[in-house]
Structures are given as C-alpha cells and as structure tokens.
Structure 1
Amino acid sequence: MSGTDKECPKTDPTDPTNGQKQIYVQAVLSLALGASAFLGFCFLRPRWKSLYAARKRQSDAALSLPELPDSFFGWMPVLYRVTDAEVLASAGLDAYVFLAFFKMSIKLFGIMFLLACAILVPINKHFDHLPTFGNSTDPHAPDLFLSLGQDDWEFDDMYKGSENKLPDNSYSWAYLVFTYVFSGLIIYFMTRQTLKIVQVRQDYLGSQSTITDRTIRLSGVPRELRSEEKIKQFLEKLEIGKVESVTICRNWKKLDDLMEERARILRKLEEAWTVHLGQPKSIKFEPTAQLAHPGLEDDNEESENHERDNLLGNNHVTTYEKPRPTTRVWYGFLNLQSRKVDAIDYYEEELRKLDDTIIKARKKEYKATPLAFVTMDSIPACQMAVQAILDPSPGRLLAKLAPAPSDIIWENTYLTRSSRMIRSWTITIFILVLTIFWLVPVAALASLVDLCSIRQVWPQLADFLGSHDILKALVQTGLPTLVVSLLNIAVPFLYDYLANKQGMISQGDVELSVISKNFFFTFFNVFLVFTAFGTASKFWPVLQESFKDATKIAYRLATSVKLLAIFYTNFILLQSVGLLPFRLLEFGSVSLYPITRMGAKTPRDYAELVKPPVFKYGFYLPSAILIFILCLVYSILPAGYMVLFFGLIYFVFGYYTYKYQLLYAMEHGRHATGQAWPMICYRIMVGMGVFQVVMAGLIALQKSFTAAVLVLPLIPMTIWYSYYFSRAYEPLTKFVALRSIRRENNADINLADEDFGTDQSVGQLRRRSTTVDESREKGWKFVNPNVVAPLEKPWIEKEPEAESNGETIRLDREDSVESSTSLGDTHIWRENGDENV
C-alpha cells in the first residue's frame, strides 16, 4: 500500500456495529428534526385549517370524509380508520394506486424483516469473525475497493499469500437461497397488488361515465379530413359507434395571447381599485357553488351580453375622499413621451378595448391542426377506437384516450408533430448533459463518506475529524445524507420545468414524464454513480475498466454496496424519521406564506393564498421507489435488518403522511386513471435486476462461484416477467375491458359480474353514487376555454350587505365579485377568519 493508504486504516463496512456511532448521531438528528416538525404540525393543524384542511373545505369530493378532531393527536385514529373505499371515492384512482404502493411495501418489507431477523442475522453473526475484504484485522486482505481500478487487476491475485486464511464461504448458499426467496416474494406481492389494482380500476372506470371516458384524441389527421363533419363521417363509417361531437384543434395562439394580456390588465385594474378602496381585511375564501366549466358553451346572446358587461357598472365614480391612483403611460415617437393618467379609468378603457377585440377574434376562423378530440356516444365505442388501428398508413389517424378538458395544455395542441419531437429530443439531450453535470456534486458527496478521500484533499480536516468521533459522524454521514436528500427535493422542480417545455398535450403526460425523469436522477446519480464510482477521481478509471471487462462493474458495485451500507441506512433513517414530518408540515408553504401574504393586495390574491396546493406524484414517488430498491439490495447483507427496519418505518410513516395530504390538505385535479402503477412495477423490476447482480457479485467475491452462477438465472427470469407483465397486465392498466363496462342507466350491473367471478373484497370498493371525475367533469366540453369562457369582471371588495358578528358575509356577486374561471368557485369572504399564522 502507499503511504496514504497506510495512514487510512479501513474498518469492516459490512459489520453494522462499526457504524453504530454514526447511526446514533443520525438517529438523534432525525428524531430532533422529525419530532419538531410533527409537533409543529399537530399544533398548527387546528389553527390553520385554510392550509391543513384546504381540500376538505374546498372540494366537494372530500365532503364525505370524516371530520378530524381539533385535539393534538385526535386526528390520527380517525385518519387510520379511513378505508380504501373512502380513499377511492374521495381522491380517485391515482391516490388509491399511490397509497397501494406504500401498503404493498409495508407488507413485503415486514415479512422480509422478520425473515432477516430470524434467519439471516444469526447466519451473518456466526460468520462475522471471518476475514472479509477491507477488514484491517486481516493484514493479508487486499484493498479491493482500490485495486478494482488497476489495469493489472486479477481476481486470483487477491488471495496470493493468504491461502491459509480463506474464509468459510458456506453461508453463500444461504445468500443464494434468500436471493431466490426475496425475488419470489417481490414477484408475488407485485402480481397480487397488480391484480387487485386491475380489478378495482376496471370496476371503477367501468362504472363511471364522463365525457373524458367517451372521448378519443385523434392525432395525425390528414388535411382532407380536417373538418368536424368529415371526421364524424369517417369514424361512423368504421361502424364502431356514433360520434357525439368533434373538436378540431385550431391555432388559437392569437386569441390566447389576447386573453393573457386581458388577465394582466384585469389584475392591474384590481390593484388600482385596491389602492383606491384600501387593503382588504383579514379574510378567507370558501366555496359555495360549482360554476360551469369554461368549456361549457352558453347561449350566444346571453354570452355576448355578459362579455360586454365586464365592469362594475357604468358609473365608477365613488364618494371616497381618498385620491384616485394614477399610472404613467408612454406614447409618441419610440414611446419617449409620458404622462400620468387616472389608473382606474386607463385600465378600464384598456379592458373595454381588449374585450371588443376578443369578441371579434372569437368569431374568426383559425387554421386547423392535425389534432382533434372526438366524443363518442358510449364508452365501449371509445374503447374500441383506442384499441384498434384506424388507418393503414403509419402515423395517420392515431387514436388515444383523451385527457380531461381541464388537463389539456391547449397551447401545445397547435404544435406540429415535428415541433413536439424536436422539443422532446432537445430536453432529453439536455437531461443527459445534466446527468453528467450531476456527477461532480454527487462524486464530491461520495468523497465525504471516506475519511481517506478527505485526507487526500484536506489532511488537516481529516486529522481534526479523526480526533472527534461525533463530528466525524456528522461530516461522513449526516452531511452527505442531508445534501443528497435536499437534492432529491430540489431537482424535481427543475425536471418539472423541463417536462412542461417538452410540448406534451396534457398535464397528466407531464406528470408521468416527471416521475420518469426524477427516478432516472435518483436511481442513476444518487445510487449507481454514488455507489459504483465513488469519488470523481475514480470515475474514469473504473469506467474504462468496465468497458474492458463487464464483470468488474459487478464486483465494483457489490463491494461498494457493502462499503456504503451505513450511509444508505442513515439516508433511509433521515428520509423516514427526519424529513417525512416536514412533508406533513408542508414546510415550503409555511415558510413562503408570510412572503406571499405580504405581497397579496387584491381579493383575487387572497383567494389564491388559500387554494389547496397541488399534490405532484412526480415529486414524491421516485424517492419512495429508490428507498424500495435500497431496502431490497441490502436485505440479505449484515446491515440488511437495519435497512429493512428503517425502510419499514419509511413506508409506514409515508403511507399516513401522504394519506392525510391526498385526502385533506392537497388537491389533485386531473382525470384519475392510475397510470403510474405500471411505471412503479417496471422500476421495481429494475431494482430486482440490480439486487440480483449485486448478490451474484458478493457471492463471487467469497469464491463461491457455483452459488454465484446459480444466481444468474434470476436475471433472465426477471426480464421474462417484465415482458409477461407488459403483455398480460399493462393493457388492463391503460384500457377498460368491454366486459367491465356497465350497462347504460344501471351502474350496479356489468357483464363481468355475471360469470367472470370478480373478487368480492375488490367489489366492495365500487363507488356508491358518483365518482370524483363524474362530479368534477359534469357539464364539461372539449373546447379551448379562451374561445368560450365568459369574460370575468374584476374582483373588488365593496361594503358588505350585512354584518353578522363574525359570521359569513356574502358579497353581491352581480355588483361586486365575479368568480374566476381558473378557481372555478363563487366566493364568500369572512372577516376575522382563521388566518392566525
């Protein structure tokens, strides 16, 4: 060894007792963070219901949920008793599938933890006195972690001079058996959960009837068919059903720009009125009635009259003595001249001119695009259309299930297919570049885990840390795990922004893309790169050796997994005990609220303050899948029982944290179809493959080559199962089987129930009356809201009609406040509300 190596004695990283101090330090930090966040949530929850009960107060779908007591811990038993049927009825399929993943993980890792404690812990304890790679107690043990990067690396050379100290590798057969057992358990639980989700999904979607369930998205429409009547005739000639309506997407960009400018002027006018009338008092927003969706077309004459009546009456003269606000307008050559004018008069006039322009623009004809939304007269007709090939020419008349009208990103419907492909490939290439960029901070974090790597860069710091065990534990474990966790929180925002720039048609597609992108980051950068390559100085040599001999990356991965056992144990501990309570606390919303509250001026601003935050599955699901994979990879190793225990805690805490948020606190408004489940399953199978490769490498490192070879058949079996899953189960997670669709006007009977033998326990989850989507999508149409939506009036706070000693005060909707189509509710303002924080 070199001099540096001699100064850096290695301890056995496979022995959990060597990292007890690091785990104790991490446990104290995590408990301090988590307990403070949890107690803060319990204290604030009954006092800040506009945040922590926002969905319960503002969503009709949540009205049937049980009320949570205002006591400190009284909400916990009530939340525990909320059933799957109530989750499905209140939050829909997406929430049900998301929570089902956590429930499956709890059952799986509970069984694996018991097996590890009962069988694997005694086996590992019995053999822990034997020499292992990297153990400083064995002077002949090679430094495999460093030797893997050498050109002259040979596996047999590791044992030169140590023939008499070869370890008893009989426990490798136990590792082999449990690799098969745990792989089988995962397949069993995943298949069982998939069958249940498929049956629930088929029953749920087969029983509801919304416009979205009857609508197809038809892309690649040729020029000769780009009219509503021609598309209708074409589809009806195919005899798959009758067409109820057709909406050709046209290039409405000019109209969209006008409406965007109108929204800006409207806010300016509201701010001017607020300056004139004074800042609103402490108020809160509550829904009273559901408005028609902007896609619902009104009577033409009534709609036009409504559009022209866009201000608060004809006479805006007030009796207030307060001077009216002014604004500076620029005019003349190159806008070099300016003068001050009455702000209210100016913005009212600008709004009036814009309204006239918009009314005229709505009557114009716009160029048709190759995209159309076709609503069929029945769900079976829609399902037959999307499951069939409509045209023999490639890329023409491709039918897919349509997103909900409110979920459509209309500005992306104007893009050509080539434009969307260019955007998609550009973002994909940029993400690949980002992946290389992330290697630098991730490799730097990996260096902190190893004191010898710190010594190479900063010897004085390494000496100081070596003499202070607690500080060393904080730097080597606490700091890297915290930074990695913060990266997992921050990076999804970047990928969410990039996904929104790819030109996808719906927010649902964006959500699934964010899940995929964020998982790629967490799995590749946080796990594979962090584990396999370590510090940046080792990245290129290891990569070169891996190209020469693919088996070396397996050995490298297997050894590094053992070396980083304590780090990943602490990572899961921090995620479960330390950071999940902060998700429950909604720390981001709490910390930003004072800033946004200070910036709020108009009634519209105050209404937006109390809108429920949106639950984004792409932000939370990838981290949970990564922890699932980590628990699997470490399940058999000596540290496996600790990893499984903390992983079990993560999924238990995560289940109830996200259950509360999905049901009571956060909104998730798109059409729920449970599309995330196959993505979860495929990524679990990727984790299974990594687990099997790691176990084969670990067994081979103990020179038990027969057992290592017997692990390898699991890899093609996993690949075969993924293929089988894609053929047998995935179509049922995308489409609705025709036998599952219930007869018209009889939602309690479907053909499948007659002789198909559906599971009665699953059948109990069938909705009682109307589903979340049926309630939300009532009256919707596939129309760009900028084409038909009423031109809303400004929201101005005026004197209330009556005071009632702190009771609710309803403002006159006709003369004072008109609802925003973006919020979708009429508004009630209450003075002295519960905004106490």
Structure 2
Amino acid sequence: MSDSRQDQVDADSSVSTFVSALWFNAALGVGFFGAFLILRKTRPQTFAPRTYATSIEKRPPPLSDGRISWIWHMFKLSDDQLIRTMGLDRFMILKFLRMGIVVFVSFSILAIPILFPLNIIGQLDSPGLNLLTMGNVRDSARTWAHLVLSVILTAGLIYYTFRETRRYLVLRRAYLMSEEYRTSVMARTLYVPSIPQDINTVENLKLIFSKFPGGVRHVWLNRDLKDLPDQVDERQENVQKLETAITKVILASYKHNNKTRSDSDALQQQQQQDNAENGTNNNDTSSYIIPKKIRPSHRVKPSFMPFGLPCIGRKVDSINYYNDEIARLNEEIQAKQRNVKNLVQRNSAFIEFHYQSAAQMAAQTLVHHTELQMAPRYVQIAPSDIIWDNMNIKSFERLIRRMISISITTAIIIFWAIPVVFVQSISSLDSLSKILPFLSGVKNLGPTVVGIIQGILPAVALAVLISLVPIIFTYLSKFEGIPQKSFVDLSVLHKYFFFQYVDVVLVSTIAGGILQTLPELINNPTSIINILAENLPKASTFFITFVMLQSTNSPGQAILQLVPYILSFIMPLFSTTPRDIYMQKTTLPGIKIGTLIPSQTVIFILGIEYSTIAPLILPFVSLFFCTNYFVYLYQFLYVYEMEYETGGRAFPRAIRHIYIGMFTWQLTLIGLFAVRGNQALGQLVIMIVTLVVTAFALGLYDKSFKPLFKYLPMDSFEDRETDINLTAGDKEERIEYLKDESKAPAKAKNNGDDDKTEVPFSSTKPIDDDDRRGLTYPDSTSSQYSAAHGGKGSGIATTSAMDNAGLRQRNNNNSGGVAGSNDDDDDADAEALHQRVLAKLENEVTKSNTDDDVHNPVVASAISKLYATEAYMHPAVYRTQPPVWLPQDELGITDGELKDLKARNVYGLDIDATAFRDAKKKGKGKVEIDEQKLVVEHRGIPGSLPVPGTHLSYVQNYIRTVVDNINFFGAIGPAGGDFLSGAFGG
C-alpha cells in the first residue's frame, strides 16, 4: 500500500514537472517570438542593422513588410546568396543546424511510433514519464528494437558527417581560391614564431623562404614597441574627450544664447560683454566666445595616484587641457614612430610570398633543424585578427602556458560540478529528501508548486551557471599565447564544449542516478551497476526540461534582443558628438562561435544519448534545431556581424563533438545491455561492434580530412597563379581600356620569382593586388573611411572622390621615382620600403603643389604601395592622429576651435556633421550627421585611416586621407612635416 502510494506520488511529480516546464517554455516561446513579430519593423537599428550598417556588397536583400510573409522570402534565399551575405563561418553554423533538423526530425518519425508501445505495453509500469523510457522494459527481447534503431542512427550519423564534411571542404576550397581571397595579402602571408636571433633578419628570412615558388615579397619583423601602443590609445581617448567637451559647449551655448546668429546686434553686445569678462578684444562675430560658466573643466589626478578621485587634483580647463595633451602625445608618438627601426626585435615575423601556394608549402615544411624553432607556423592570418601582445611568445613557452591553461580548465570543470550536482538534485526532490529529510515538507506544497520547482528552476539555474564560464576560458586561451583572435575563439569552443559535456551531460546524468539510488548503494554497494543501469533512464526528465528551455528561451532572447531594444531608445540621449552618433548607428552586435556552437553540440549529444533510451526527448531536440535555425538565419542575415572569417574552421570541430556524443551513448547502451546478462547478450555484442565501427569511422575521418581543414592541396592551384597580378578585374579593365582609349596593351610578362606583369594602366609597375587587398578580411572593420567630403576643416584641402580611372590610367613614360618602381619591389624589408615610399610621396605632393593630388597617378601609386607595406605592421607604428571631428555650428564655435587646433598642430575637421537649434526642444542644440553619406553609402568617419588589408574602396579612401594629412601638416610648416614623417614611420 505504501509503495503504491509512493509510486503514485512519484508519477504525479514527474508528470507535473513535465507539464509545468512545457507550459512555461511554451509561454516563453510565444511571448518572445510574438513580441519580435510585432516590433520587427519598428526599430531597424535593433532588428535589421545589417541592411544599412555593413558594407554595401554584404547587405542582405530587403524583406517584405508583412507580419509573416517575410519568413517565406527569407527561406527562399539560395546558399550562394547566404554565403555572399554572411560569410562561410556563419553559413556552416546554419549547415550544422540543418543537420540537426534532418537527423532528429527523421529519427523522431521513425523511433517514437516503435519505441513508445514497446516501452509501455505490458512492462514494468514505472511511475510517470519513466513509463516511456527503456528502463520500463522488462522483456529483454524487446530491446532488439532499441538496438536496431541505435545501429540505424549510428550508420546515419557516420554517413551524414562524412557527406557534410566533403561538402564543407568544397565550399572552403572555393572560398580560399576565390578571386577576392587569393589576391589578398592574407592568402600569401605566413606567421613565423620562435625565430633564432642569428636568423631574425630580413636578409636571412628571405634567403630561407625564397626557396619556395615565386620567392618572398615582403618581410615584416615584429618589434617591442614598449608603451607606444598605449600612447596611441591614450591619444584616441583624448581626441574623443575633446570632441565631447567642445560639442557640449556648442549645445550649452545654444541654450545659453537662445538666439540665431542673424540677431547681430544682440550677439555683438553679448560677445563684447564676454570679451570683457575673458580679457579679450575679439569682435569677430564668426567666432563665438564661450562664456566662462559653460566652459567645461575637470580635475587632473595627481601623478602619484593610480586613479582619480572627486575633488582631488588640479582643476583645469577641459578644452585647453585636451588640446595640450593631444599636441604633447603627437610629439612623443612622432619621435617613437620615427625611430621604430631602432627598437628591439621580437622573435617572430610575417613573410609575404608572391604565390599563395608558396605560403601553403612553407606552413607545412620543416624549416629549422632545432626542435620548436620557427614552428608552428600559421598561414592565412588577417591583419585585423592578430593579437599583438602574443607576438613575442616562444614555442616552448606556449607549450608551458598551454599546460597551465589545460590544468586550470580541468580544475574548473571538476569543481564546477559541485553546484551542477546540487542544481540537478532539485529536479528529484523525492530522492533528495531521502538524504536531507528536512526537505520532505516541500513535497507537501502540491503538485503544481513541486512541478515548478523541479521542472523550471533547475534548468534556469543550470543555464545561469554555465553562462559564467566562457569569460574565464577566453582569458585562459589568450594566456596560452595563441596569435589569432579567431583561434582564441576556437580554443574557447573546445574548452566550453568539454565543460558542458562533463558538467551538463555526464555529471547531471550520473548525479541523477546516484541521488535516486544512494540509500540502496549504502546498503548494498555491489549492486551499483544494476542500480545505475536501471535508474539512469529516469534522469531523462531533467534533460527534457532543459532542452525545452533551450528550445525557446535562448533563441527567443537572441531574436527579441530586449536589452538592445531598450538601449536603442536610451543611448541616443547620451550620444552627443558626431563620432558617438556615428558609432551608435553603425556598431553591430557580434556573435562568438566559441560559446554558440558548444551550446548546440551539447543539445545534439543529449538528443543522441537519450534517442533510444528516452525517446520523448526527440521532438524537443527537433524543436531546438528548428527554432535555432530560424533565429540564426535571420540574425546572421540582418543583425549579427563577425569580427573575423576563418573559412568555417569551427564546423569540423562540431562534427568531432558529435562523435564524442556517439561514444557516450553507445557506452551507455552497452552498460544497459550488460546488466541484463545473457538475456541481452546478442544486443551487447552487436553494440560493442557498433562502438568499434564508430571508432574506426572517426579514425578514418581524421586521417582523410584533418590536413584539408588547415591547408590547401597543391592540385587546387594548377595554373591559377601563372598570372596572379592579372586578375579577372584587370582583364576586364584591359578590355575597357582598349575600347575607350584605342591603345594596345603592353605584353604581359612573367619573370620568374619577381612575378611582375605589365598592364597598360601602369606608369612603372602595376598596382597589382596591393590595392586589392580588399577582402583580405571581408568586413573586418566596422566602416569604410573617407577624409574629404566637401566640408570645412583645419586647413585641409578638400577634394572630390577619386575614381578608379584616375588611379589606374597612368602614363607609362612617367619616370618619377615612386613606390611602384622595380627598385622598391626588390626590397623585401617592409619597414625600409615604407620609409622610402613615404619620402618619395611627400616629395611628389610638395612638388605638385595642387589641391587635386588624389588624381595624381604617381601619388596614387605611391600611397597604394604605402598601404600595402603597412599590412602587417603594428597599427601604432603608422597611425596618425585621428581628426578631432566637430559639428558645424551657427555660432562659429567650431571655426574658432579649428583655428586653435591648427595653431597647436592638432588635426581637426567639421564636415558631414551639424549642430543646430532644435525647435522641438525649445531652441536647445542638437547634433546630426549626414547619415546618407556616412552610414547608408558606407563612407565612414571622415579623415580616419582604414585598417590595412581590408577592401579596395578603403585604399581609395586611404589615398584621399593621406594626401589631406600631407597637405595639412605641410601647411603648418617644418614641425608639421616632422610630425607626418613620424606618424607614418618615416
């Protein structure tokens, strides 16, 4: 009687747990997705920023305005469109989600109609949801069905993983051999660490690596820059603080002097009064004198204090202080940039080859006779992907750091299991109360309350616990000395997966079984195998509720973006400067594959683990992959941006996780068959054979595919590189040149290692692929940059946009010494070449003495080469001062400040941004930027230099920006010329 009553209580508890979780998660899903459908069109900056804030060629197609019809249009997009829009990394995540949909939807249709009747009818009549599990089967003959379905699922997974991997490799090769990628500097550049001191020179490195086809093009030696990067960052901060201070003054002045500049009499009277107060005699109404009471000030922290405190420190005028600080930093940075050649070399370098195949071969060849020297080498590192702080770590030190990192990771995984066990135990209050009797009263609160406690709280608590770990793993991965940001993310992917695999899958499963059987184990320790085999299927209820939560909560939060939605109303209130407004409108939310993919592979593993043991989990795993595919298809197209592109390197790691899950599942089934003794001997033997076959399949997988994940096979190149400098784009231009100019093209040449090809639009040497470093890292920066947009600046010559013809069509007979000369190309030392190009560039701009230098083919060629030589230099070596970007105003404050900036040798401008009186705010000031030009047309912040190695249009803007810098600092005088030379590393 007592046992029957307890079984009924257990059944009610199990069912109420499931029902409570089902209703809770259904409500979450309806709420999240319903709210998204309603709000989607109201805030494009939250729900569709990639339609305007990313580069034009990467923008997704617009969706219809209907509430539901847009979904159909989104699903109709082809794979080619998806790859073009989102890149291969994000596309392969979608491919993995598709794989999950196909596997679990098809297996649900196959397995549930077979296993549910076999598990339920005429068997043990276990309480609650345990009735649906394999643990309810008394007749061992029925387990043949579980075995056959398990073998079918194993065969299907092996076939599917091999097929999808082959398709991935086809896509990866197409990506790496695409015109846009293979003509990029990233495709041909090799990172070499741990270089012995006696070899670490440009000459020696060129001698070693010139043995590969085509030879060496450029060598970048990494140097210890000491505090130079910190000073460059400090200057950037001061520029932004100065922009904030001046912009706030402009807005406050509108409020203080709430009149238009046309009220000249009142304005002059006000200025005369302010002149008297400030001790000045300036009657020029074009420059508004800032009243003292609205002129900003702040306290400077004492030098002996690590941080500032309120009311402590010298009080200074903010505008004057930041002006002086920028001028001081300009001088100090200039001096260090000018002498960067004398800084201590680090033990690493970047080698650029003429051929992509040479870089691939060099990465796989044994280069040095001493162990761990000049190894391991990395190919395909984008300039924006480099972790500069890890450039001086030797290979042996990396091994030690990796061992420390693995040890700490292991400790975290082990000790994090303690709270996970407690959380999982809440899902079984009955068994927990046997150990902790004081909790028995909780069971009397009623089935609904108990169901909420067991069905909702554990899953939520577990999700919170595991969300805290990636931050620690990211730090550990950087500590290992990994040289690439993308590889740090891949390292986090492995760590985070094993954390979830151990603490979520294994610990939770074992903890559930042990807690339910602990009293019996104490009385009869030898029965542990039988007891665990019987009770492990009962732990499935917790995982079913956990998968439910992940199916609705995680994707629902991702697509609704409630916090970003709220912040989209709040942040504009704090965005005052043109730069703040621009960044607020163009900054895209990112996605980290290191945390995203493990969350998906763990659900995949749970689906496999319980597919035949507790088949009720299958529909919810199917739901997980369906909702995640819908959400991330939309988010990857319209919302999320990635900082880098790895060519889908995370996909094979996800496949490997599937095999780990298969091993766990098969070992569990072997244990379940083993405890049944001779009655399930046949099933046991076949399951062991299945495990061996799976292990063989994984070995074959690694043997067949692993090298192809890292390198390109030589047969991929064939004749592609015989004329690498004459790409399809050049050939089209050559045809157009013949049509438009009626001139015969020069005969193309291929001179062995030099690989120089003459084209009709080259004056000395073709710009070749240096100005097409576009797509070295597609969209790796948040914007394009443009200096001269037709507004006023601090003495900067403004020019019209440069077109390709002005860059390409040059006089072949021009003999002026520029960067494109053969002498320059023979110099592999990128630093020396950079200095020589800059000197010739300054001479050419000074000699031309025109405001139209961006149309000068000699200047364009030189700056293109300058851009190329900066690709693998530390940004602090060549970065100039970012312009102080101010809004034009009616009061003339900006005009006066720009004059002051110029007098201090500080670069400033006031284009594409305006401050005006806002009638809606009773005449208070408001700042706006030219969104059409800067955001929609994707021209970016005026006057800022782009990151080298990004996109062709960036090179065009770079030419415009460098010319304007030369004009500005040249107009200042000798001091300005010295600054420019230092700023560009001359």
Same fold? TM cut 0.5: yes
- The answer to whether the Cα contact below 8 Å between 1:447 and 1:535 also exists between their aligned partners in 2 is no
Gaps of at least 5 residues in structure 2 are 255-284, 730-771, 781-863, 890-912, 920-926, 958-986
Q: Which residue of 2 aligns with 1:506?
A: 484
Q: Give the letter aligned to residue 368 of structure 1.
A: Q
Equivalent of 1:357, from 332, 356, 362? 332
Further displaced range: 584-593 or 800-809:
800-809
Q: Which residue of 1 aligns with 2:874?
A: 784
Residues 103-124 of structure 1 show CA distances to partners (whole Å, capped at 9, x for unaligned) of: 1111111221121134333332
Q: Which residue of 2 aligns with 1:405?
A: 383
- For residue 680 of structure 1, report the CA deviation from its aligned partner: 0.9
Q: Which residue of 2 aligns with 1:219?
A: 193
**TM-score, length of structure 1 as denominator length:** 0.79
- For residue 523 of structure 1, report the CA deviation from its aligned partner: 0.8
Equivalent of 1:272, from 245, 270, 278? 245
> Structure 1 residues 48, 802: CA separation in 2 closer, same or farther (over 3 Å shift)?
same
Matches within 5 A, 1:547-566: 558-566=533-541
- For residue 347 of structure 1, report the CA deviation from its aligned partner: 1.1
Whole-Å Cα distance in 1 between the matches of residues 517 and 378 of structure 2?
A: 44
- For residue 167 of structure 1, report the CA deviation from its aligned partner: 3.3
- The answer to whether the Cα contact below 8 Å between 1:328 and 1:338 also exists between their aligned partners in 2 is yes
Q: Percent of pairs identical after alignment?
A: 26
Q: Give the letter aligned to residue 204 of structure 1.
A: Y
Say if 2:640 is the partner of 1:666: yes
Q: Which residue of 1 aligns with 2:6?
A: 9
- The answer to whether the Cα contact below 8 Å between 1:183 and 1:688 also exists between their aligned partners in 2 is yes
Q: Which residue of 1 aligns with 2:220?
A: 247
Q: Which residue of 1 aligns with 2:91?
A: 96
Equivalent of 1:809, from 913, 930, 954? 930
Residues 465-502 of structure 1 show CA distances to partners (whole Å, capped at 9, x for unaligned) of: 34511111111111111212233434323433443443
> Structure 1 residues 489, 316: CA separation in 2 closer, same or farther (over 3 Å shift)?
farther
Matches within 5 A, 1:163-202: 167-202=138-173
Say if 2:888 is the partner of 1:798: yes
Q: Which residue of 2 aligns with 1:369?
A: 346
Residues 719-742 of structure 1 show CA distances to partners (whole Å, capped at 9, x for unaligned) of: 222221111012112211222234
Q: Which residue of 2 aligns with 1:307?
A: none
Residues 320-376 of structure 1 show CA distances to partners (whole Å, capped at 9, x for unaligned) of: 446311122366999999432211101110110111100111122221122111111
Residues 638-685 of structure 1 show CA distances to partners (whole Å, capped at 9, x for unaligned) of: x31x31111111111111211111121011131331111221111111
Say if 2:412 is the partner of 1:434: yes
Say if 2:668 is the partner of 1:694: yes
Say if 2:727 is the partner of 1:606: no
Matches within 5 A, 1:487-498: 487-498=465-476
Further displaced range: 26-35 or 409-418:
409-418
Residues 303-329 of structure 1 show CA distances to partners (whole Å, capped at 9, x for unaligned) of: xxxxxxxxxxxx997434463111223
Say if 2:420 is the partner of 1:447: no
Q: SS of 2:658's equivalent?
A: helix
Further displaced range: 49-58 or 685-694:
49-58
Q: SS of 2:381's equivalent?
A: coil
Q: SS of 1:256's equivalent?
A: helix
Gaps of at least 5 residues in structure 1 are 138-143, 146-164, 282-314, 749-768, 827-837
Q: Give the letter aligned to residue 595 of structure 2.
A: F
Equivalent of 1:575, from 539, 544, 550? 550
Residues 551-587 of structure 1 show CA distances to partners (whole Å, capped at 9, x for unaligned) of: 967x676445411112211211111133311111124
Q: Give the letter aligned to residue 645 of structure 2.
A: H
- The answer to whether the Cα contact below 8 Å between 2:353 and 2:359 also exists between their aligned partners in 1 is yes
Aligned length: 735
Q: Which residue of 1 aligns with 2:687?
A: 711
Whole-Å Cα distance in 2 between the matches of residues 801 and 607 of structure 1?
A: 13
Q: Which residue of 2 aligns with 1:29?
A: 24
Q: SS of 2:357's equivalent?
A: helix
Whole-Å Cα distance in 1 between the matches of residues 304 and 506 of structure 2?
A: 61
Q: SS of 1:252's equivalent?
A: coil
Residues 281-324 of structure 1 show CA distances to partners (whole Å, capped at 9, x for unaligned) of: 9xxxxxxxxxxxxxxxxxxxxxxxxxxxxxxxxx9974344631
Q: Which residue of 2 aligns with 1:482?
A: 460
Say if 2:175 is the partner of 1:204: yes
- The answer to whether the Cα contact below 8 Å between 1:220 and 1:371 also exists between their aligned partners in 2 is yes
Q: Which residue of 1 aligns with 2:364?
A: 387
Q: SS of 1:327's equivalent?
A: strand
Say if 2:434 is the partner of 1:462: no
- Ranked by relative contact order (alpha carbons within 8 Å, sequence separation 6 or more), the top structure is 1
Say if 2:101 is the partner of 1:130: no
- The answer to whether the Cα contact below 8 Å between 1:451 and 1:476 also exists between their aligned partners in 2 is yes
Q: Which residue of 2 aligns with 1:162?
A: none
Whole-Å Cα distance in 1 between the matches of residues 521 and 217 of structure 2?
A: 59
Q: Give the letter aligned to residue 224 of structure 1.
A: D
Whole-Å Cα distance in 1 between the matches of residues 412 and 697 of structure 2?
A: 32
Q: SS of 1:564's equivalent?
A: helix
Q: SS of 2:220's equivalent?
A: strand
- The answer to whether the Cα contact below 8 Å between 1:280 and 1:797 also exists between their aligned partners in 2 is no
Q: Which residue of 2 aligns with 1:289?
A: none
- For residue 503 of structure 1, report the CA deviation from its aligned partner: 3.0
Say if 2:294 is the partner of 1:319: no
> Structure 1 residues 726, 133: CA separation in 2 closer, same or farther (over 3 Å shift)?
farther
**TM-score, length of structure 2 as denominator length:** 0.68
- The answer to whether the Cα contact below 8 Å between 1:271 and 1:602 also exists between their aligned partners in 2 is yes
Say if 2:37 is the partner of 1:42: yes
Q: Which residue of 2 aligns with 1:234?
A: 208
Q: SS of 1:253's equivalent?
A: coil
- For residue 802 of structure 1, report the CA deviation from its aligned partner: 10
- For residue 817 of structure 1, report the CA deviation from its aligned partner: 5.5
Whole-Å Cα distance in 2 between the matches of residues 11 and 702 of structure 1?
A: 27
Whole-Å Cα distance in 2 between the matches of residues 811 and 441 of structure 1?
A: 52
Whole-Å Cα distance in 1 between the matches of residues 288 and 145 of structure 2?
A: 86
Whole-Å Cα distance in 1 between the matches of residues 887 and 129 of structure 2?
A: 74
- For residue 440 of structure 1, report the CA deviation from its aligned partner: 2.1
The root-mean-square deviation of aligned C-alpha atoms, in Å, is: 4.1
Q: Give the letter aligned to residue 617 of structure 2.
A: V
Whole-Å Cα distance in 2 between the matches of residues 573 and 601 of structure 1?
A: 44
Q: Give the letter aligned to residue 240 of structure 1.
A: P
Whole-Å Cα distance in 2 between the matches of residues 352 and 498 of structure 1?
A: 38
Whole-Å Cα distance in 1 between the matches of residues 642 and 471 of structure 2?
A: 17
- For residue 266 of structure 1, report the CA deviation from its aligned partner: 2.5
Q: Rg bigger for which structure?
A: 2
Q: Which residue of 1 aligns with 2:272?
A: none
Q: SS of 1:380's equivalent?
A: helix
- The answer to whether the Cα contact below 8 Å between 2:130 and 2:537 also exists between their aligned partners in 1 is no
- For residue 517 of structure 1, report the CA deviation from its aligned partner: 1.4
Q: Give the letter aligned to residue 647 of structure 2.
A: T
Q: Give the letter aligned to residue 95 of structure 1.
A: R
- The answer to whether the Cα contact below 8 Å between 1:515 and 1:622 also exists between their aligned partners in 2 is yes
